[in-house]
Amino acid sequence: MKKFKFLFVLLFSSFILQGQKYTPLLETGKTWNIFENWIYWGETHPHHLEICEIDTTRFIVIKEWHNQLQELGYLFEDTISQKVYYTDLYENEVVLYDFSLEEGDVFNYLMITVIDSIQLLDGNYRKRIVFEDGLYSWIEGIGSIEGGLLWSDWSMKKHIPEAWMLCYYENDSLLLMNENFEHFNTCDLSFTNIVEETSGQSVRPTISPNPFSEKVSLSFDSPLYGETFEVIIKTLDGRVIYTETVNSDIFIDLSFLSKGVYLLLLRNSNSQHATKIIKS
C-alpha cells in the first residue's frame, strides 16, 4: 500500500509539473520582427504587445511602421485551455492559437501531424505544433513562424499582408531566427543587400577571430594613408550598439554583447563594407 501511495503521489506531482510547463504567448517585453510582403515590395516591421488600459485581460498588438505605431487588433489568452483569441479592430473574434492540440487533431481544416520541440538560442526548448500542409507551425510562447504573430489568412485579416516572422526577442535577447526563410541570415531585410558586399573603392578588413568571445581585431592589407573610417556595429534588427572612428588596425572589446549574430559596417564618404560577426 505504501508503494502504491508513493507511485500515486509521484504521478500526481508529475502531472502538476507538466501543467506548469505551459509558456504563455502574451507577455510584454517580447518583440517579433515580421517581414510583410506586399504586391510590389516588402519590409520588416517590429511588433510588440501592450496591455489594454480599459480591459487589462487583453493585449494590443502594436506594429512599428516608419517611426509610427499602428494598432492591429487585440489578443486574449486563456492559459487554462491554452487558447489565444484574436479580435480585429471591428471586434470580430476568432481562435488564433490552440496549444492544447494533439497529433491527429484538426484546426481550421488543417490536421496536426507532428508535435515536437525546438531549441531556442538560449538553450531552452519550446513545444512546436506542425500542420500537415508543411506551411504552418506554431511554437509555444512565440506563435507562428510562417505568417507571423497574426498568422491567420482569414477574411477578417485582409488588412494585414502576407508575412513571415524573421526573428523573435525576449527583453532584447534574440531567441529565434527563421532559418527556413530565404533571407534567414538577417532579422531585417533592409540590411540584406549590403551584407558581405562593398561599394566604391572599399577597404576590406580582416576580422579575427570570427566567431569571437570577447574581442575582435580589424586589420588591413594596406595602409589607410590617412583616411578615417567609421566602424559601426548593429544588431540584425538595425539597432546601433557600437561606433568608433579608426585610421589603422584596431582591437574592439565586445565582451558586453550577448551571444548572437551582428552586422559590422566600415564606411566613410567614399566607400562602405559590411559583414556579419558572431559572438559565441
Beta bridge partners of residue 243, listed in sequence order: 232
Domains contained in the chain, CATH given = 22-187 (no CATH), 198-279 (2.60.40.3080)
Which cell numbers in the block locate residue 278?
Answer: 558572431
> Does this model's pTM top 0.85?
no
- List pLDDT tens digits, range 215-225: 888 887 665 55
SS3 at position 11 = helix
Q: Please state which of the ranges 186-195, 256-265, 271-280 shows the lowest mean pLDDT.
A: 186-195
* Highest mean pLDDT, choosing among 80-94, 150-164, 205-219, 246-260: 80-94
CA distances from 251 to 108, 217, 220 (A): 55, 4, 12
Beta bridge partners of residue 156, listed in sequence order: none
